[in-house]
Amino acid sequence: KNGSLIAALYEAHAAGIKRNTQGFEAVKKCPELCLVQVPVQHGKEDLTIYRDASQRVLNELVSYIKRATGSASVSEENIEKIRIKKASIDKIYIDMISTALDMAKKIIFQREEVTPNMVVRRRRIQ
């Protein structure tokens, strides 16, 4: 009733609703907003179920990325360079630049029928 929001969807952000906005203020700004009370333990919110769900989603993402990049013949070295940062309970950043570059090189080499070694040799000769 008097609590504040622990998370807000992007659509709510567009209406000016952010994390820590009081519930009643959020409903004033966006009457169709649906507020959900999180479990409470010892007078404080208990985010355990949300943290657990967030970790399960993160684990699935990592597993999927490794399977997908492995099937795309991305080198093990570049798969290991994938950086995953959990920014909050509902936000994850994934940096796959090495993997993307590796995949792009393979596509280019397939189209031009050249190998990475041929490209290296050309650069050294010039």
Give the helix/strand (H/E) hosting 93.
strand 91-95
User: DSSP class of residue 22?
Assistant: B
Say whether pTM exceeds 0.85: no
> Residues in the chain, how many?
126
pLDDT per residue as tens, the chain (126 positions): 568 888 888 888 899 999 889 999 999 998 988 888 888 899 888 989 988 998 899 888 888 887 877 766 677 777 777 888 888 887 888 888 877 787 777 777 666 665 555 554 444 444
3-state secondary structure of 20: coil
* Other beta carbons within 10 Å of 98: 17
